[in-house]
Chains A and B, each alone.
Chain A
Amino acid sequence: MGFENMFTPEKFEKAWQVFLEEMPFAVWETFYVTILSTFIALLLGLPLGVLLVTGEKNGILPLPKWLLNTINVVINLLRSVPFLILMIMVIPLSRAIVGTSVGTVATIVPLVCAAFPFVARLVESSLREVNPNIIEAAQSMGASPLQIIVKVMIPESVPSLISNTTIAVTTVLGYSAMSGAIGGGGLGQIAINYGYYRYQYPTMVVAVILLIIMVQIFQSVGTHLSVRLDKRLK
């Protein structure tokens, strides 16, 4: 098929029609799936990331070595599976939790499975940035391990946690578009259904542009928050 056939006036017209009729809802679907999945991934990944740092031999709350190793291996395993395959592998899990493996809500399950190990690693790297001398100071004041985590490590790394969460959000947004391939909703589904199955390239381009705009907005908000909340920059 020649280039001129990919972008005919009829196809542009179709794109305009889809943009008006389907895209607003698709943007909303992509938005809430991304935010909700990242949020749940954060709920799982934050404590895991904390354990990865505090559970070390010289950490403030050392874990048995086998347990720490198990956590590390599981995280690495989940992170090594390509998302396209992970989506298929967790279909039984989606059925068990949501009742179906198709649709927007059902894609939250594979998205969380892919994102929480990633978030755990990001949290780990944020917490490692905390000055160990500050942790020592807290210990010298009689802080318990839990108090050090809640009152020192997490608050001190808030700017870094926010910028890393932004990275997670944009990654999940990309994954959520990919989930269109197995029946997830949102902009990804539109891009694949119209662009790939029906050769409606202009529609696909519009969907991709909207995805790009969403990434830009998430990134700008994240960077702004991270900088504004960092009290070291005055």
Chain B
Amino acid sequence: MIEIKNLYKTFESSEGRVEALKDVSLTIGDGDIYGIIGMSGAGKSTLVRCINMLERPTGGSVLIDGKDMGALPAKQLREERRKITMIFQGFNLLMQRNCMKNICFPMELAGVKSSDAKKRASELLELVGLPDKAKAYPAQLSGGQQQRVAIARALATNPRVLLCDEATSALDPNTTHSVLSLIRDINKKLGITVIVITHQMSVVQEICNRVAILDGGMVVEEGLVGTVFASPASAAAKRLVFPNGADELISNPACERRMRVVFNGARTAGTPLIATMAVKENILANILSAGTRCVDDKVYGSMLLGIPGGEEQFEKAKTYLESVGDVHVEGV
């Protein structure tokens, strides 16, 4: 369990003080996939770096399984970091080492015997689906493949926690989907707690069970993903749930119920889904906002619909849309 208690982080610079984190308290349970979402500058990256003390908090504490990370001496902190590994937006692989040696790197640091390290690295390459890339250098791989190698590297020391710092932000939607699936598999198979830092709602919706919304260095909302997204209370949460300013102004909640439809690689390209729903089910949906992209015949992104006609129509629409694979529907 990770307990973040009253965490503060202030940066002093020549331009003045910046309060990156203000009284952040969170509890992350074992086996959770915990999303921390916010706009850029909200303090997400600082928060995740405070968990493994890459960034020293100015106040408060981080307890991992009861151990106070801030109080550990340098050597013990380094050993503890092997149990809380991290993947990054820019992958950060060693460019002069091949994949096998990149995955061996953390084991080398920990003093694992070279032959054992190689054996484990081969297993990990298998796990992340790149068994044939052992000898390849990072520059020869695509972004998605590099992130898979980075995941294998992060798993090398059998961590309890995996920190993902905007790990899919540099990837296209299709690759994002496959990397997220890999992270979810790892969470299920190995029981590793995952903390996902992102600015993309779709990422949280796809893999997280709990979410905290960070705004201006503060946690403004926290809870189960379904609950937070179904009834966003804070302004920051509303901004994320109703993108592009779509809100009460263009849709009257008294006349219609709103639903969020999330496409995670649904094979609906070329199918007029909403029109078909109107014709077949006689449900006249009001499209409040839509941001979908089509990659390789699959659709990613989300749509916000207003369904008039009360609860019955709403349930009918929900059932219809959910019958399509890889589409999530939620009342908002």
Contact = CB atoms under 8 A, between A and B. Distances in A.
Nearest to A230: B96
B56 interface: no
Interface string A135-150: 0111111111001000
Interface string A111-143: 000000000000000000001011011111111
Interface stretch (B19-27, B104-112, B272-280, B300-308): B104-112
B90 A133 contact: yes
A155 interface: yes
A65 interface: no
A155 B97 contact: yes
Contacts of B46: none
Nearest to A152: B94
A233 B139 contact: yes
Contacts of A144: 75, 78, 109
B118 interface: no
Contacts of A147: 109
A152 B93 CA distance: 10
A158 interface: yes
B88 to A, nearest CB: 6
Interface of B: 52, 54, 75, 77-82, 85-86, 88, 90, 92-98, 105-106, 108-110, 137-140, 153, 157, 163
A141 B92 contact: no
Interface string A151-175: 1100110110000000000000000
Given A140-B86, A232-B139, 7 more contacts: A134-B92, A134-B93, A136-B54, A140-B54, A142-B110, A159-B96, A230-B96
A198 interface: no
A142 B78 CA distance: 4
Contacts of B110: 142
B54 A156 contact: no
A133 B81 CA distance: 16
Interface in A211-234: 230-234
A7 to B, nearest CB: 52
Given A134-B94, A231-B137, A143 B52 contact: no
A141 B95 contact: no
